Structure 1
Amino acid sequence: MYNRVLCLLFVSSLALSQANILQSTVNVKKLQGILEEGLKSKDVGALYFAIKGLKQINAKIPEVCDVLKSLKYDISNLEQVFYVTNAAALANCLTILNPDLLGTPTRTLDKKDATLQEIYYAVYSLKAMGKGTIMDKEDSLKNLIQLLKKDDSPANYGYVFALCEHMGCGTWTASHAEGVLLAADETDARALHFDGGLPATALVLGSIARTYKSLKKASPLSEEQRYKFSTYVSGRSVSTPRGAALLLEAATALADDEPSPICIVIKGKKYVTSESDSVEFSITDLIGRPVRGLKPEEVVAQSATRLADDVVVLSKQPLTQKANEPTTFVLNLGKIKAQYGLYKISLSAGSKTANLNVAVLGEIQVSSLEVGIGDVDGTTSPKITTITHPNKLTEVLQADHLQKVSLKFSVRDKYNNPVSVQQAFVRVAPAAAAPADLEAIYVAEPSAKTYKVELLLFHLALGGSLCLYVLLWLQLSMFATLRYLAPLALLTFLAGQRLLRRLAQDKTR
């Protein structure tokens, strides 16, 4: 059997840092699974967020009216009243609601010390039950502004923005949105979020997006803000229906913005071989949808540069949109599949460009192997034996502590051309099956299109010491280990001295 191995070039699949290009998207399918699981919950809050989140992605919602009717909740708890009334409104189950639910939000609005969050819960509870009228718009807005002066946190601005959606004071939101957006916190100069985390961020971004859409006005978010908020959102990990719904609210608001943030990543394998000469790229918005307005002919590999020597091997090569997969684009690299190495692909999608790393791999073979035994000090020429795969040595090699064993081999590709690999190793182990601790692995040094390993007694002694260390943990006692280690340590010391002396002599020649 002809022995072949695949070149092992471990390549990072992450794109290089690109301004205004997303490195990842929000996994909508995973979030949908969390939300669907939340439909089984007996907690009224979890059920509300599960229904809300599924509505946001237009997913099918099963019949939940009986579940809502059977839920136990505290009718005097405003937050729970908000959850149950709004869950019922989203699921078209208002007929199952108890009229006594109106009492708690009504009493809240009559309070003089109600917080903005309480007012938000109360107003939207009444709205869900068809009782959405509140006080005069102008007076109500003045009261809300007074409460904001006491606590102008981003979350409170989000509550006021959401209340203005209901009250019809969206112009006030539009006049304050840019200032609130400037108050966002920045992390590592890459991500933006509001104090209060995902709940505050989702509330502010969602209410601003809906308000500007109703006013038919352009988004107040700058391109930099849009991408930095998207970076924060795409990097969040959630496991509850509440977290999933909030993440979808923020992500959808950003993805529906214009121009939509773009994510360009390699899809699947990050390399090409002689058998497979194409790489697939995924180009989507923040929630994995096709990018609006992007034409297939606008997706182009502007260049491919070999990182080893900065040689440009292709330029302005169009990609092909994959059939029935509008977000997948295929780049054919057949022209360079015999030029092994790591390449930087500069890929443009419309006005956006990302740099991604792709490897060109090839099948290689050890074409010949020379085994030699010579004196450590090099006074005599080594005796060389050549072996061709899959043959073996016809005789057992004999060597003592004054000699060294050397191996030299070359690596070639399927076209019989010499190949330089990033790193080559030689494994030395008993011919019969044996535990892994009885083997030794050496790094082969490159030398004139070949690779060479010298085995100087020091390495063998050192390997033996490491084996003893393993055996100490597995079966030997400390005293038994020391008994074996004493002569081995002396041998390692003497062999090490000889090795250092020879290396010093080699440098002076």
Structure 2
Amino acid sequence: MFLKRILVFLIVTIFATSHASIGGYICPYSRKKFLEIATRALNTNTEDISVIYFGANSFKLLNEALPKDLKTASCEKLNKLFKPTADLSTLFYGLSTNKLLGCDSKLSVEGVVKIAQEALQSDVSSVLDLHYASEILTLLGQPLSNQQKIVQLIQAQLKTDDSVLNLGYALHIAALLGNSGKFIINRIEDIVVQADEVDGKLLQWEGGLSTTSQILTGLLKFPTSNQLTQVQADKLGNYLLSRTTVQTPKGVSVLLEAVTALAASKISPVSISIAGPTSVTVNKPELRIQVTNILGQPLKPTPSPVVAQSATRIADDVVVLAKQPLSPGTKESEFILPLKLEPGFYKILINAGTHAATLNARVLGPIEIKNFEIGLSDADGSSVPKLEKITFPNKCSKILKGDSGQNLLVKFTLSQQVHQAFLRLSAGKKEIIFVAGYESNNQYKIEADLGQELPLSDTFTIELIIGDSIITNPIRWNVGNIEVKLSGAATQSVGPKIIRSAKPEIVHMFRQPDKRPAEVVSLFFTALTLTPFLVLLVSWKKIGVNFSNFTPLAIPFHLGFGAILGLFALFWLKLNMFATCAYLIPIGGFTFFAGQRLLSHVAKNKKPEKADK
């Protein structure tokens, strides 16, 4: 029992101290794309300073120098757009952009310090306003005075709205406040638990890339708070790598801010990936593996040892390699794994210290044709076929001659199994292709009934075609020729004349309309619809029409009511429901207010009469 507990403890310890690495890094292709987006942002004719900021910030995070002409044009555009009386966000982006570009001319910042200080003391300032104001003063080299007041404002705003985005801004403000900002440490655990996990591999905060970047960069400014575990950091790294398809300047900027901060942290994810092509050959079996951070930069210190824990052939799930150490490569973060294996696809488990990753690689090798035989046999199997052995790349010693009562028989053996093995018979523009059937031990066979398969009598060229994704020498071998003479009946039964002409027009058949009722019935029901109007006229004749109480206020109401009736008639004749509703809203509103005024007038006139009684 004691030994069993010890074994369980060791297993748990091993799994607890090892974890997977992230699935890739910011590759050169992504860096090139990010630079193109940043360049377009700086070249854009825009009046939004934030666009210029995101472009300049991306250049800095990519550690790329700005072209001189682009820098000059961006500085001129910034000087033209920047106004010291703008809102806090514009002031922040303007001052930050000026610092990133390193412009020779200084921006006019008169009154900016006062605006920022007032925002930091105002009870109506949002957390975002406090964030921009504190960043502005820091950029201008001004101290954040009355820090307790700022802390009180942040806490008051978080009581009202403690969304993850506001908490992210609060993290950045607290980092600028020094010791006064330690209040936010009590909220860090609450921030971390609000992250959403996707498929057990990705971790993000609600709000997408911008929110996740804001929170992550804020959390990493408090390295002593143990805010994130290594597993969580790896999942965040995987999420950031999944967003490398961003196409906007802001998306690129916030992504680079997050990955740069994560790569510089103590919980920097480890990327174990294949450097260069994922295929090696039998002659050059060295597979290059690199162990880097999320930016593709060398890790210091590099996790060790770096070992190929296992290599499994995907075709049959057989382990062909185990616990093979990797040797250092030419670069600091590069390691070499010699895959001296048979051609095929392999799944390789690499361990680098406590990190692990499963990589897919391919070993390529040459193919060899062995024991190739070709000949003719009787279709009814009445005689033993006579086959000629040919060695690649030679041709058949004579022209084969066959008829409609014979089969073409081909047998050959390859040095390994392939996915594509065909026999092609061609004569001029006519061709027919037969698929080689796999038998066993890499043996293939093709048997073609000449009378059934060939369209007409002719001399055909025979070619063997061998191809596969794991061979380095695909083969197209001209084996020889075969002269086929088919009987008249066979010739007529196959190979019909091909006629290429316009196909008959497709005419849609509409459903026949239902039979309409007799004209008398239609007129009768039309007359019935006029019955209410006739009843109204008869009633007016008997009772009479009282115009004594008529008021001009009734005219708008009756006009509106008549317009509604007319609209219904148009709906019945040609309008659809959506157009009718669009017209009915204003007409109905007008009629409602006109009727309200009319009823109010009638009610006022009746009140004196009741008083007299």
Query: What TM-score results when the alignment is normalised by the length of structure 1?
Result: 0.75
The amino acid across from 1:88 in the alignment is N
Q: Does 1:220 align with 2:227?
A: yes
Q: For 1:478, which of 499, 503, 528 is the aligned residue?
A: 503
Q: Describe the superposition over 1:474-506 as per-residue Cα deviations: whole angstroms up to 9, x where unpaired.
A: x54337xxxxxxxxxxxxxxxxxxxxxxxxxxx
CA separation in 1, counterparts of 2:444 and 2:346? 25
CA separation in 1, counterparts of 2:37 and 2:152? 40
- The 3-state SS of whatever aligns with 1:25 is coil
- Counterpart for residue 279 of structure 1: 287
Q: Describe the superposition over 1:330-366 as per-residue Cα deviations: whole angstroms up to 9, x where unpaired.
A: 1123xx34x3444443322112222323333321122
- The 3-state SS of whatever aligns with 1:55 is helix
CA separation in 2, counterparts of 1:235 and 1:250? 13
- Counterpart for residue 11 of structure 1: none
Q: Does 1:455 align with 2:448?
A: yes
The amino acid across from 1:279 in the alignment is L
Please state how far the C-alpha of 1:72 moved relative to its aligned partner.
Answer: 2.4
Residue identity over aligned pairs, in percent, reads 27
Q: Classify 1:393/1:178 alpha carbon distance in 2 versus 1 (closer, same or farther; 3 Å).
A: farther
Please state how far the C-alpha of 1:25 moved relative to its aligned partner.
Answer: 0.9
Q: Classify 1:431/1:260 alpha carbon distance in 2 versus 1 (closer, same or farther; 3 Å).
A: farther
- Counterpart for residue 256 of structure 1: 264
Greater Cα radius of gyration, structure 1 or 2: 2
CA separation in 1, counterparts of 2:193 and 2:437? 57
Q: For 2:437, which of 435, 441, 444 is the aligned residue?
A: 444
CA separation in 1, counterparts of 2:382 and 2:291? 64
Q: Does 1:378 align with 2:392?
A: no
- Counterpart for residue 465 of structure 2: none
CA separation in 2, counterparts of 1:307 and 1:357? 9
- Counterpart for residue 191 of structure 1: 202
Give unmatched runs, 5+ long, in structure 2. 1-17, 456-494, 505-613
Q: Retained in 1: the 8 A contact 2:173–2:181?
A: no
Q: Retained in 2: the 8 A contact 1:373–1:399?
A: no
Q: Retained in 1: the 8 A contact 2:417–2:442?
A: no
Q: Retained in 1: the 8 A contact 2:424–2:434?
A: yes
Map 1:116-265 → 2, pairs under 5 A: 116-134=127-145, 136-168=146-178, 169-212=180-223, 217=224, 219-236=226-243, 237-265=245-273
Q: Classify 1:302/1:254 alpha carbon distance in 2 versus 1 (closer, same or farther; 3 Å).
A: same
Q: Retained in 2: the 8 A contact 1:423–1:444?
A: no
- Counterpart for residue 349 of structure 1: 352
- The 3-state SS of whatever aligns with 1:114 is coil
- Counterpart for residue 115 of structure 1: 126
- The 3-state SS of whatever aligns with 1:229 is helix
CA separation in 1, counterparts of 2:305 and 2:202? 28
- Counterpart for residue 21 of structure 2: 21
Please state how far the C-alpha of 1:101 moved relative to its aligned partner.
Answer: 4.6
Q: Retained in 1: the 8 A contact 2:20–2:356?
A: no
Please state how far the C-alpha of 1:183 moved relative to its aligned partner.
Answer: 0.3
Q: Retained in 2: the 8 A contact 1:123–1:132?
A: no
Structure with more contact order per residue of length (Cα contacts < 8 Å, sep ≥ 6): 1
Q: Classify 1:192/1:101 alpha carbon distance in 2 versus 1 (closer, same or farther; 3 Å).
A: same
Map 1:280-319 → 2, pairs under 5 A: 280-294=288-302, 298-307=305-314, 312-319=319-326
Q: Retained in 2: the 8 A contact 1:219–1:257?
A: no
CA separation in 2, counterparts of 1:190 and 1:128? 38
Counting matched residue pairs gives 432
Please state how far the C-alpha of 1:287 moved relative to its aligned partner.
Answer: 0.9
Please state how far the C-alpha of 1:374 moved relative to its aligned partner.
Answer: 3.1
- Counterpart for residue 53 of structure 2: 48
Q: Classify 1:399/1:105 alpha carbon distance in 2 versus 1 (closer, same or farther; 3 Å).
A: farther
Map 1:325-364 → 2, pairs under 5 A: 325-333=331-339, 336-337=340-341, 339-364=342-367
Please state how far the C-alpha of 1:423 moved relative to its aligned partner.
Answer: 1.9
Q: Retained in 1: the 8 A contact 2:123–2:153?
A: no
Q: Classify 1:82/1:420 alpha carbon distance in 2 versus 1 (closer, same or farther; 3 Å).
A: same
Query: What TM-score results when the alignment is normalised by the length of structure 2?
Result: 0.63
Please state how far the C-alpha of 1:393 moved relative to its aligned partner.
Answer: 6.0
Q: Retained in 1: the 8 A contact 2:309–2:351?
A: yes
CA separation in 2, counterparts of 1:160 and 1:106? 17
- Counterpart for residue 488 of structure 2: none
C-alpha RMSD of the superposition: 3.3
Q: Describe the superposition over 1:16-45 as per-residue Cα deviations: whole angstroms up to 9, x where unpaired.
A: xx9521111123633345435544445421
